[in-house]
Chains A and B, each alone.
Chain A
Amino acid sequence: MGRLSFFASELTGNKTLFFGLSLMLMICLLAVLGPLFVDFANSRVGATIPRSPPTMEHWFGTDGQGRDMFTVMILAMPQTLRIGLTSGLISLSVGVALGLIAGFVGGWVDTVIRLASDVMMTIPGIAILVLVAANVREMTVELMAVIVATLSWMVAARTIRAQTLSLRERGYVQVARLNGTSGLKLVFVEVLPNLLPFIAASFVITVSNAMLATVGLEALGLGPQNELTLGMTIYWAQFYGAIIRGMWWWWGPPILAIATIFVGLMLTSAGMDSFVNKRLGASS
C-alpha cells in the first residue's frame, strides 16, 4: 500500500509524467477498443468512393484506393503500437540481461558486451534496416519487431550496466555477498528491484526509438505491405502524391496519430527522468 500511495503522490506532483502517461493510456485504449467498433470491410481497397473529403458518412474522408480513412486509422494504430511495444520489450529484455551480465561478471565478458554495443551504436541502424527489409520477401509485423529490436538494445544495456556497476559496490550488496548469498539470488533479490526505475525509463526510451525506426522504415515503403500501419498509410499517401493533390485528410490523420504517440512518449520519458534522477540524487 505504501508503495502505491508513494506512486500516486509522485504522479500528482509530477505533471509531465502524469500528462505523458494519460496520453499513452488514451492512445492504448483507443487502439484496443477502437477495432471492436468499426467494420473491417471499409478498410479494403475499393470499399467506397475514392478521393472523397471528409463527409458525415466518412468522417476522415477516403483515400485514393477507396478505403475509409477513419477505419484505416482505427485499425492501423494497434499495429504500429504492437510493433513498437514488441520490439521495445525484446530489446529491453536483451539489453537488461546483457547490462546485468556485463556489470556483474566484468572481465572479458564485459569487454565483449561493451564492444558489441559500441559497434552497434556506430552502425547506422536505419541503413542496416533498409538492407534487411529490402532483402526480405514479405515483411510482417512480427518480423519487423524483431529486426527493429536487434538494432535498439544498446541504450538499455548501457544504462543497466552503469547502474549495476554502481550498485555492486553498495554496502547492502556487499553485506549480502559476505553473508553467502549466491550470485543469481544476489542479482534478482538485491540488485534487480533497485534497478526497476531505470528499467522503466529505458523501456520508454527503447519503445520510442523502436517506434521511430518502425515509422521511418514504413514511410520508406519497407514495412508490412499487406497490413495497415500508420507509417504505411503515410507511405501510400506520399506515393500517390496526396500532399501535392491537396488531399490533406489522407496524410493528416496518420501524422496526427504518430505525433500524439511521440509527444506522449516524450512527456513520459521526461517525467520519468526527473523521477529517476531524484532517486539517484537521494540515494548517493
Chain B
Amino acid sequence: MTSSYWDYVARRFGIMMLVVFLAVSINFALPRLMPGDPIENQLNQLMASGGGAMGDVGAMVASYRARFGLDQSILTQYLAYWQSVFSLDLGYSLTNYPERVGDAILAGLPWTLGLLGFATLVSFTIGTLLGGLMGWPRSPRFLKTFGSGVLLLSSVPYFLIGMILLYLFAVVFRIFPAGGGMPFGMSAGFNFETFRAIAWHATLPLLSIIIAEIGAWAIGMRGMMVSVLGEDYIALADAKGLKPKRIFLRYGMRNALLPQMTKLAMALGHIVSGAILVEVIFSYPGIGFRLYQAIQSKDYFVIQGIVLLLSVSIAVAMFILDLIYPLIDPRIAKGK
C-alpha cells in the first residue's frame, strides 16, 4: 500500500476517535447541563407513578450517587464515566431495576440486526436491479412507470408505510400478527417451528422497510446507469455488435454497481439506528423498541446506553468500511 493510503487511514481513524470521544462526552454532559438532579427527578417521578419496586429505591439512589460521584470534582466524574464506558458497565435500568443496561441491549440486538440486515440486503438487490433496468433505454415502458411509482413511495417515511401495512394485513385482513417477535409464551429453540414463527412475525416490518427502501436504491442505480451508458466503451460494445443483454449486464450494470456497493456498506453501518420507529409500530423486540419503552418510562440509563451503542457502533462500522473502500476503488484514497 502507498503512503497516501496510510494518510487516508490515519485521517479516518482520527474521525472515528473523535466521534467516540464526542458521543461519550455528550452522554456525560447532557444530564449535567440540565437543571436539577436527573436521578432524583427520575426516581421521584417513579415513586409518584408507583412504578418500580419500592424497596429498591434507596439502594438505587445510593448506587447512582456512587456512580455519578456527585460530590467529586467534575473531572473525576468525567474520568470515572470513561472508565465505566470502557468496562461496559452502563448501569441498571430504572424501571426494570435488577436488569442491567448492557443485558437489555444484548437482548434486543439480534432482533434488530436480523430484521434490518435482511431488509437492507433484499431492498438493495431489488432496488439496484430495478434502477439498472430503469436507466436502460431498451427496457419496457411499464417497468419505468412502475419504477416511478416506487420512487414516489420511497419519499414517504418507512414507519408510515408500516402503519398502513399493519392496519391492512393485521387488523382488516387478519393474515399476519399485529406485533412481537414471536408468539407470546413460545420458547425459542433451534428448529423449524421457531424459524417459521419468527419469519411470520417479521414479514410486515420487513415489508415496510423494503418497500420504503427500494426506491432509494433504484434512484442511485438509475443515475449511475445513465451516466455509464454515456461512456465511449458502451458505444464501442454496441458497434461490435454484442448482444444487448451482455452489454447491459457486463458493461452497464457491472460498472454502475460500484457506488451502489459503497452505499450498501454505509447502509449496513447505519443498520442499528435504522428503523427505530418500525420496531415501535410493530412492537418488535429489537433495541429500537427498547429505546421507545425507555423514553416512555424515562428510563434514563437505558436511553443513554442505547444512544452510546448507536454512536460507537456506527463510528466503528464506518471506519472499517473506510479501510475497505480504497481496496475496491483506488481513486478514493487518492482523491481525499
Residues of A with Cβ closer than 8 Å to B? 115, 118-119, 122-124, 126-128, 130-132, 134-137, 212, 215-216, 219-222, 234, 238, 243-244, 246, 248, 251, 255, 258-259, 262-263, 265-266
B296 near A221 (CB under 8 angstroms)?
A: yes
Known: A131-B304, A243-B171. A122 touches B15 (CB 8 A): yes
Known: A123-B311, A221-B295, A251-B163. A131 touches B30 (CB 8 A): yes
9 tightest Cβ-Cβ pairs between the two chains A and B:
A266-B155, A127-B310, A124-B273, A127-B307, A262-B155, A259-B156, A131-B307, A255-B160, A122-B19
Q: From residue B248, how far is it (CB to closest CB) to chain A in Å?
A: 24
Q: From residue B265, how far is it (CB to closest CB) to chain A in Å?
A: 14
B146 at the interface (CB under 8 A from A): no
Q: Select A128's contact among B26, B159, B166, B300, beta carbons within 8 Å.
A: B26
Q: From residue B204, how far is it (CB to closest CB) to chain A in Å?
A: 12
Q: Select A243's contact among B154, B163, B298, B307, beta carbons within 8 Å.
A: B163
A127 near B315 (CB under 8 angstroms)?
A: no
Known: A258-B160, A266-B152. A126 touches B315 (CB 8 A): no
B interface SS class:
helix
Q: Which residues of B contact A238 (CB under 8 A)?
A: 163, 280-281
Q: Select B277's contact among A122, A134, A220, A263, beta carbons within 8 Å.
A: A220
Q: For the complex, give the distance between the alpha carbons of A234 and B318 in Å.
A: 33
Most interface-central of A115, A118, A119, A122 (chain B CB within 10 A): A122
Q: Which residues of B contact A258 (CB under 8 A)?
A: 156-157, 160
Q: Which residues of A contact B178 (CB under 8 A)?
A: 243-244
Q: For the complex, give the distance between the alpha carbons of A126 and B170 in Å.
A: 29
A126 near B273 (CB under 8 angstroms)?
A: yes
Q: Which residues of A contact B270 (CB under 8 A)?
A: 124
Report 6 cross-chain contacts, Cβ distance below 8 Å, ordered by A residue. A122-B315, A127-B310, A135-B34, A219-B277, A243-B281, A266-B152
Q: Which residues of A contact B318 (CB under 8 A)?
A: 122
Q: From residue A107, how far is it (CB to closest CB) to chain B in Å?
A: 16
B23 at the interface (CB under 8 A from A): yes
A119 near B167 (CB under 8 angstroms)?
A: no
Residues of B with Cβ closer than 8 Å to A? 14-16, 18-19, 22-23, 26-27, 30-31, 33-35, 38, 151-152, 154-157, 159-160, 163-164, 166-167, 170-172, 178, 270, 273, 276-277, 280-281, 291-292, 295-296, 298, 300, 303-304, 306-307, 310-311, 314-315, 318
B298 near A215 (CB under 8 angstroms)?
A: no
Q: Select A263's contact among B35, B38, B156, B306, beta carbons within 8 Å.
A: B156
Q: From residue B152, how far is it (CB to closest CB) to chain A in Å?
A: 6
A134 near B280 (CB under 8 angstroms)?
A: no
Q: From residue B67, how far is it (CB to closest CB) to chain A in Å?
A: 18
Q: Which residues of B contact A265 (CB under 8 A)?
A: 155
Q: For the complex, give the distance between the alpha carbons of A237 and B33 in Å.
A: 33
A212 near B163 (CB under 8 angstroms)?
A: no
B280 near A118 (CB under 8 angstroms)?
A: no
Q: Select A219's contact among B151, B152, B159, B300, beta carbons within 8 Å.
A: B159
Q: For the complex, give the distance between the alpha carbons of A79 and B245 in Å.
A: 52
A216 near B26 (CB under 8 angstroms)?
A: no
Q: Which residues of B contact A221 (CB under 8 A)?
A: 292, 295-296
Q: Select B311's contact among A124, A220, A262, A266, beta carbons within 8 Å.
A: A124
Q: From residue A126, how far is it (CB to closest CB) to chain B in Å?
A: 6
Q: For the complex, give the distance between the alpha carbons of A131 and B276 in Å.
A: 14
B18 near A119 (CB under 8 angstroms)?
A: yes
B298 near A119 (CB under 8 angstroms)?
A: no
* Further contacts, 18 of them, CB under 8 A, given A220-B280, A243-B178: A118-B15, A122-B315, A124-B273, A124-B311, A130-B307, A134-B298, A134-B300, A219-B159, A221-B295, A221-B296, A222-B295, A238-B280, A243-B166, A243-B171, A244-B170, A246-B172, A255-B160, A265-B155
Q: Which residues of A contact B307 (CB under 8 A)?
A: 127-128, 130-131
Q: Which residues of B contact A251 (CB under 8 A)?
A: 163, 167
Q: Select A119's contact among B22, B291, B310, beta carbons within 8 Å.
A: B22
Q: Which residues of B contact A122 (CB under 8 A)?
A: 15-16, 19, 314-315, 318
B295 near A220 (CB under 8 angstroms)?
A: yes
A130 near B295 (CB under 8 angstroms)?
A: yes
Q: From residue B135, how far is it (CB to closest CB) to chain A in Å?
A: 14
B277 near A216 (CB under 8 angstroms)?
A: yes
Q: Which residues of B contact A243 (CB under 8 A)?
A: 163, 166-167, 171, 178, 281
Residue on A with the closest CB to B273? A124
A136 near B34 (CB under 8 angstroms)?
A: yes
Q: Which residues of A contact B151 (CB under 8 A)?
A: 266
Residue on A with the closest CB to B270? A124
Q: Which residues of B contact A259 (CB under 8 A)?
A: 156, 160
B303 near A134 (CB under 8 angstroms)?
A: yes
Q: For the complex, give the distance between the alpha carbons of A266 and B148 in Å.
A: 12
Residue on A with the closest CB to B14? A115
Q: From residue A100, how far is it (CB to closest CB) to chain B in Å?
A: 21
Residue on B with the closest CB to A16? B148
B18 near A115 (CB under 8 angstroms)?
A: yes
Q: Which residues of B contact A128 (CB under 8 A)?
A: 26, 307, 311
